[in-house]
Amino acid sequence: MFLLEYAVLAGILYGLYFSLIGIGLNLTFGVLKIVNLAHGDFLMLGGFLAYFLYSALGLSPLWAVPINLVLFVALGGLLYALLIPRLRQSRDPEMASFILFFGLSQAIEALAILAFGNNQRSLPAAAIGPGTISLFGQVFPLSWAAAGAAGLLSVLLLYLYLYHTRLGQATRAVMASREEAVASGLSVGRISALAFGIGLALAAIAGVFAPYLLGGISPNMGVAVTTTSFTVIVIGALGNPVGTVVGGLIYGLALMLMETYASSWATLLPYLLLVITLLIWPSGLLGRRLRSA
């Protein structure tokens, strides 16, 4: 019983963190209809920023959260302007962008290896704050609680942005129908660029906690993180950022239960969950199966 309680609580903390990992990818997909295959690599970059803030300047890694937010929103705007308008002209923009971001992911990974070396970095537990935290009689590292809180907060803020600001409302209009949004006079390009930047920033913020919850940061972690993010948002609701929490929690709980009761197979989980989910609940994923003639 004790073990189960621990696994469930840890699963919820991890689940909130996984929501944070996936939510940016989902926002990007919802607004741009693009799968950003370099998502995990932006998370990695955000993590390295936190790492260097601590190891070179002695600052708390948490300072990386606001810095990442500003930096990656700007980077997102830049990348958007460079890549997306041209992509939209290709014959199959969805597939073209998918392949392009795959290339970008490889390039970022290579640059990160050249810059940081091909090994794993971690941060001492004390960097984020001393000690542990007790929840319902179970003791967890403070970093887990901080990551869970960051996840919860990010989802709430994104929700407020999307549903209670004018820009957010415009963003939802673009999600619902790009054409209609253009026809209604919205500056779809700028709204999309901002959403893309926010998506990257959310990934980078998630990266701040990666040294604690993902066991470290390394230049080659991107692909695995992207797969995990994709799994989370597919389980939740693809294209609906707030629905990511459902996916994150299911994923976090499943992972913790696997680690507790079948640890040697736990690494298989994201891949199996992804394939099974795609095959069993493919609604909305089948796109081209029937064309309204």
Q: Which residues pair with 134 in a beta bridge?
A: 139
The residue among 231, 20, 57 whose CA lies nearest residue 146 is 20
Token output for 118: 């091909």
Chosen residue from 1, 56, 57, 286 binding other proteins by CB under 8 A: 286
Q: Distance (Å, rounded) from C-alpha 179 to C-alpha 27? A: 18
Does the footprint of other proteins cover residue 259 (CB under 8 A)? no
Strands 138-141 and 132-135, bridge-based pairing: antiparallel
Binding positions for other proteins, 58-87, rule CB under 8 A: 83, 86-87
Closest to other proteins by CB, 163 or 281: 281
Q: How many CB atoms lie within 10 A of CB 202?
A: 34
Out of 70, 74, 103, 120, the only residue in the binding site for other proteins (CB under 8 A) is 103
Task: Report in angstroms the alpha-carbon separations of 116 from 111, 196, 250.
Answer: 8, 26, 34
Considering only residues 188-227, where is the footprint of other proteins by CB under 8 A?
A: 223-224, 227
State residue 240 phi and psi, 5-degree precision: -120, 95
User: Is 125 among the residues that bind other proteins (CB under 8 A)?
Assistant: no
Nearest to 20, CA basis, from 272, 271, 208 = 208
User: What are residue 164's phi and psi, to 5 degrees?
Assistant: -130, 15
Q: Does 118 participate in binding other proteins (rule CB under 8 A)?
A: yes
Any contact of residue 95 with other proteins (CB under 8 A)?
A: yes
Query: Residue 111 CB, nearest distance to other proteins (Å)?
Result: 6
Interface with other proteins, residue 182, by CB under 8 A: no
Cβ closer to other proteins: 57 or 280? 280
Instruction: Give the nearest distance from C-beta 254 to other proteins in angstroms.
Output: 15
Where does this chain bind other proteins (CB under 8 A)? 35, 83, 86-87, 90-92, 94-100, 102-111, 113-114, 118, 223-224, 227, 230-231, 264-265, 267-268, 270-272, 274-275, 278-279, 282, 285-293
